[in-house]
């Protein structure tokens, strides 16, 4: 059960791409890197509160921070890459470029879902001075409070103090200034953020299928910014 929601999302997104090539351009219209897709509870950008009416219309700019107090937020990092933050989290936008988007998890917990990745694209997540470069489509958990990086699915390269280690599915690494060592973890474990991320992934997949059918028929009921 732990992988079904993610694999379902990837499968539906693949269907969308096959059903209508123009959809990719339409889906990201008005949704640039750093766009906040969805918020629940107390969420702000540099202390300026956000609400649900701003979904899809607000962008986290370079050096700004997406802050979550009691709530959750989803941000588009690049086409097909979604960052989801949980309670008491802060994510700083280091670079919002399409070719090399980079964020820093300052505190709290975040999940990164990569549904598509261009061959030459580089996706980096900074945590406590370490750099995690996402190498493959997959699902990743970053926990700044516990100084952990987990690969639920996919592959990541972690670099700290000049040393690098690649992690695959079901592996985690501790960021603590010591030589990097990988260990296994329980991929069946699901917390509140994981379950919320699963629901968001399912909604996005369903929305993409509706958009694909609409574009194929020559109209789109969901035209406009926001997802």
**Residue 90: enclosing H or E segment and its boundaries?**
strand 89-95
Q: Tell me if 19 sits within 8 A of 208, measured CB to CB.
A: no
pLDDT in tens, the chain (227 residues): 344 444 444 434 433 333 333 333 333 344 689 999 999 999 999 999 998 777 788 999 999 999 999 999 999 999 999 999 999 999 999 999 888 999 999 999 999 999 999 888 899 999 999 999 999 999 999 999 999 999 999 999 999 999 999 999 999 999 987 888 899 998 878 889 999 999 998 887 776 554 544 444 554 444 444 43
pTM: 0.80
Phi-psi region of 108 (alpha: psi -120 to 50; beta: other; left: phi over 0): left
- Distances from the Cα of 113 to the Cαs of 181, 203, 217, 223, in angstroms? 24, 14, 29, 24
Tell me the fold of 4-217: Jelly Rolls (2.60.120)
Q: Which residues does 227 contact at the CB level (< 8 Å), separation at least 6?
A: 27, 31, 37, 38, 55, 56, 76, 204, 207
Structure tokens at 36: 């906040």
């Amino acid at each position: 059960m732990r992988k079904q929601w993610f694999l379902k999302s990837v499968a539906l997104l693949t269907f969308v791409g096959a059903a209508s090539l123009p959809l990719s351009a339409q889906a990201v219209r008005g949704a640039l890197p750093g766009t906040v897709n969805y918020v629940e509870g107390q969420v702000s950008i540099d202390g300026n509160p956000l609400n649900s009416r701003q979904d899809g219309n607000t962008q986290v700019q370079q050096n700004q921070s997406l802050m979550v107090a009691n709530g959750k937020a989803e941000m588009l990092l690049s086409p097909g890459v979604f960052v989801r933050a949980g309670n008491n989290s802060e994510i700083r936008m280091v670079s919002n470029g399409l070719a090399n988007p980079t964020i820093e998890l300052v505190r709290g917990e975040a999940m990164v879902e990569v549904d598509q990745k261009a061959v030459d694209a580089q996706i980096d997540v900074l945590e406590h001075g370490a750099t995690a470069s996402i190498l493959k489509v997959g699902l990743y958990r970053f926990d700044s409070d516990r100084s952990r990086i987990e690969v639920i699915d996919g592959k990541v390269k972690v670099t700290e103090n000049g040393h690098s280690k690649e992690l695959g599915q079901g592996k985690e690494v501790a960021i603590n200034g010591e030589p990097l060592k990988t260990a296994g973890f329980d991929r069946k474990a699901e917390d509140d953020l994981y379950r919320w991320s699963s629901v968001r992934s399912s909604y996005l997949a369903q929305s993409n299928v509706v958009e694909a059918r609409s574009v194929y028929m020559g109209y789109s009921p969901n035209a406009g910014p926001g997802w």
